[in-house]
Chains A and B, each alone.
Chain A
């Protein structure tokens, strides 16, 4: 399994993502510059976190018009797994590959902390290794992560299994007190209809080694390991 980690000007979790993927036996990861057409040749693409183009205009808005997204878009249409982490999620949304919008947190502040996230849909190439309802410990770090979709579209997204991850408490309840950003329905990540394009605000690449986790977990790793599972 060869994964392209797409590096945009201003990406800053690109090296972390490459390092995290490489800890999974059987997976290779390369950094690919956003103008490099080689992206198309990979088995999966990861758009990493950071501040592509400084997050100017809106987070992800400029990167969504970069050459990389033409390739990523074709890969997505062809069923190739595409994962957007944090800024990568914002880019996928701005590029129209995932529905909705990511607005400023209700606190209007950047927030960096470890959260509990519940897996809602195990039928994507990035969640196959989980059981439905499984709780992951993963950190967030962003100021524009409040997922938003108009009421009617949200209902359809929920009905179609488009919600991939939801913030929850330690017992797995998606309660308001476990919502760090005011995001709609505690949504932390979504997927497209085909399920091959997934975006999430938490950073699995920061949670792949137990030494990095305050609770000693390494849950983020399974997101990348899922890619090796066929169903």
Chain B
């Protein structure tokens, strides 16, 4: 039974939007219609605050088959194969229910990949929490988010192969839980989220529809409040087993070639899925809500249309001849119901027992007016660098950095994830700067995601470009050429002009870097309204980039020193860019300074040179320099095989003589490379025009730094390893 009146209408629409709806429609919408518009016009579904800026991003390229606008971006990887890419976050649900929120976040991103008819083959998780060293709440969130990801991802059999974790007080109550997924498909088997043919039937499959998640899209498009804990209806229960059956059933059904269109039910539920199918297909829909399996008695039409219950998809099937698809759904016990059909009318008709309860033009539902937010450059305090201590205490500073949660060994996290299932993972988490997956076309796919909110908060333009640069470096370090990326842009309340300014700057930074490098952005997501529920302070701006790269060589360098006697090269220039660095934060307890600026033109040459060294088998080990600078990069290369190194800082290509800058500056565009063939490396680097220098050799059991003949510091690799490895387990277990 469907209850007709709910009596409580909680709209997220602005007065201006309400007026627009009335004007376009020429009448007062009823309650169901308001709910449909509210869901689809939410920030989450409409991108009304961000769309204009996102147009700056380069989205095309020779490998790009489908850019932003669909459930996932599609990239050609050769020999008839494509990969699909999508990124999502589940920040607000995870802040309230970290276990269920993180788990259902994976569920959502998997459905986007699945709805393209592609097999999900890899997950990445990018997580941001408060200060885990001090805060119980941050530890509670971290523990349960990781457990939620593990329980869900492991169960559905999609390996979690890479990710990124960062800690900052600004995420104390508004943690960020981002998930990206990579899918794999034969090009000709791709399915799009559109309903092109009037007369086709709409089949709702998967879980039942309940009140859980009603208003979720609006929930994600508001600031968290202290009362959010009790916004129970917005929390969804993870059902990975149901999802696994859905994956198996859909992949088998996609093979039949009979699915005309497919769409997952995510934010905004049926409202969003139906209106987007019709909008993309240039058609309309007519659905009967009594055909929808509901979990509760007396749900209103508005609740059914906007419920975000998990594990549901819509299939568009021809009215006749689709029996093989239904047989497959039956085999896997996946419930399926014909709930309506595609019409030529361009309208969205919703019925209860045949009686129309909502009738809206599709164009109106999907046409949320853009919001021209004001923007104002904030007074970014602390532009000048911190006063340097007279004695930089290199050894103890390096040990402090190694044990900082932002740098320490992540195996506490990735050991909880099955990163092997599918037997594609060739370079596994912890074994390389990026993970490498083998594909059925004989090529390798590198994947990695990065972001740096500390840099972004001081200089969002440089931080935006920097996250792309870092992810590119990681992909290049395993010998792959970056071919595409997706981004996730996370900010506070866009109605705050300073927040909106940081958003604009970030997008422009990313756009500039990608345009120069020729790296297409094939998809992405924007999440606003991330602020602390009690202090009302926005999170630090947190753009995140996931970059994928292609590698068709069998030559793969290690990311660490395997033996003594190798020559160590520093490639790329070190600049005095300690702003937002881990050294400033965890050693000097200072936030400010001038942050690293990426140079896409220089990076282009740099990546080409490093890839060439890898290709010719000249690189024994390659590792990029990022958080913690050159010193941390070297330490990370010494730890795995307990091989020491002696480094002469006077030889490091740099714009600064200060050892603190040389060791800890986080300048982009740098790699450390080791080789047994010094001359061979020098020949290629010389011709490439990138700054480089041989800075030392692998030897002994200590990491030693000197300047010319003057010894500056020496730390045992064992001590570095202990500081790095014990940090997270000691905090968390």
Contacts and interface: CB of A to CB of B under 8 A. Distances in A.
Q: CB atoms of A and B under 8 A apart anywhere in the complex? A: yes
Interface in B419-478: 419-423, 425-426, 428, 431, 438
B241 A10 contact: yes
A53 B241 contact: yes
Most chain-B Cβ atoms within 10 A of its Cβ — which of A9, A15, A55, A110? A110
Interface string A183-221: 000000000000000000001011001011010000000
Given A10-B245, A56-B241, A211-B438, A110 B418 contact: yes
Nearest to A203: B420
Contacts of A19: 423
Contacts of A110: 150-151, 154, 415-418
B415 A54 contact: no
Given A9-B332, A54-B241, A211 B426 contact: yes
B620 to A, nearest CB: 16
A51 B426 contact: no
B673 interface: no
Given A51-B154, A51-B155, A56-B241, A212 B426 contact: yes
B244 A10 contact: yes
Contact of A16 (B245, B333, B423): B423
Contact of A10 (B147, B155, B331): B155
Interface in B331-385: 331-333
B241 A33 contact: no
A212 B423 CA distance: 7
Interface in A1-26: 9-10, 12-13, 15-16, 19-20
B418 A112 contact: yes
Nearest to B156: A12
A33 B331 contact: yes
B157 interface: yes
Most buried by B among A53, A54, A56, A209: A54
Given A9-B332, A214-B428, A113 B415 contact: yes
Interface string A73-90: 000000000000000000
A130 to B, nearest CB: 22
A162 interface: no
Contacts of B416: 109-112
Contacts of B151: 110
Given A12-B157, A110-B154, A139 B420 contact: yes
B160 to A, nearest CB: 9
A205 B418 CA distance: 14
A112 B240 CA distance: 19
A74 to B, nearest CB: 24
Contacts of A109: 147, 150, 415-416
Nearest to A112: B418
Interface in B153-207: 154-157
B245 A205 contact: no
B418 A141 contact: yes
A33 B428 CA distance: 31
A133 B292 CA distance: 60
Contacts of B414: 112
B417 A205 contact: no
A170 B416 CA distance: 23
A5 B628 CA distance: 48
Given A110-B418, A112-B420, A212-B426, A141 B154 contact: yes
Nearest to A55: B155
A142 to B, nearest CB: 9
A50 interface: yes
Contacts of B425: 212
A205 B422 CA distance: 10
Contacts of A211: 426, 438
A216 B298 CA distance: 60
Contacts of A10: 155, 241, 244-245
Nearest to A205: B423
A9 B415 CA distance: 25
Nearest to B416: A110
Interface string A97-138: 000000000010111110000000000000000000000000
Nearest to A35: B331
A20 B156 contact: no
B240 A16 contact: no
> Which are the 3 A-B pairs with shortest beta-carbon distances?
A12-B157, A54-B241, A51-B155
10 contacts: A9-B245, A13-B157, A54-B240, A54-B241, A112-B419, A113-B415, A143-B154, A206-B423, A211-B438, A212-B425
Interface of B: 147, 150-151, 154-157, 240-241, 244-245, 331-333, 414-423, 425-426, 428, 431, 438, 733
Interface of A: 9-10, 12-13, 15-16, 19-20, 33, 49-51, 53-56, 107, 109-113, 139, 141, 143, 203, 205-206, 209, 211-212, 214
